[in-house]
């Protein structure tokens, strides 16, 4: 498969409560990313994830799956041409990569991600 799911991100208004709940429920290892308001989730096997404060108060907490792409700009424009709504992006996470958040024509939200070739390593998960 050419474009696998690679990351799942929780955006919530209560990061502390979410951290406690998921860590206690699943025994996930959580590690804050230095210099960012972001927590990496190590679920052990399978796809990892992240946890962050939602930027908008009017959006309910949600999990967003991210899919790997070779070119975020081209994939974002192709999604738009196919009827998607672009919520964010293409946007850079300096030193890590590029992403967009997209709502498909059925209303489902997902993200796309391209890691920089010269990316610094994310903290151990």
- The partner residues of 66 in beta bridges, in order of sequence, read 7, 111
Average pLDDT over residues 92-101: 93
Measured from the Cβ of residue 102, the count of other Cβ atoms closer than 10 Å reads 23
- Alpha-carbon gap, residue 11 to 99, rounded angstroms: 15
69-120 CATH fold? 2,3-Dihydroxybiphenyl 1,2-Dioxygenase; domain 1 (3.10.180)
Q: What angle do CA 114, 120, 123 make, to 5 degrees?
A: 100
- Name the CATH code of domain 1-67 (choices 3.30.9.40, 3.10.180.10, 3.40.50.1000, 3.40.190.10): 3.10.180.10
Highest-pLDDT range among 26-40, 64-78, 104-118: 64-78
18-69 pLDDT, tens digit per residue, is 999 999 999 899 999 998 899 999 988 889 999 999 988 888 899 999 999 9
């Amino acid at each position: 498969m050419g474009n696998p799911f690679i990351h799942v991100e929780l955006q919530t208004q209560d990061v502390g409560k979410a951290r406690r709940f998921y860590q206690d429920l699943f025994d996930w290892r959580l590690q804050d990313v230095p210099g960012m308001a972001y927590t990496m989730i190590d679920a052990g096997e399978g796809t990892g994830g992240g946890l962050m404060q939602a930027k908008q108060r009017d959006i309910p907490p949600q999990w967003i799956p991210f899919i790997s792409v070779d070119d975020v700009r081209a994939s974002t424009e192709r999604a738009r041409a196919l009827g998607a709504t672009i919520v964010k992006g293409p946007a850079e996470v300096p030193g890590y990569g590029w992403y967009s958040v997209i709502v498909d024509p059925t209303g489902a939200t997902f993200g796309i991600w391209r890691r920089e070739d010269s990316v610094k390593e994310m903290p151990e998960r």
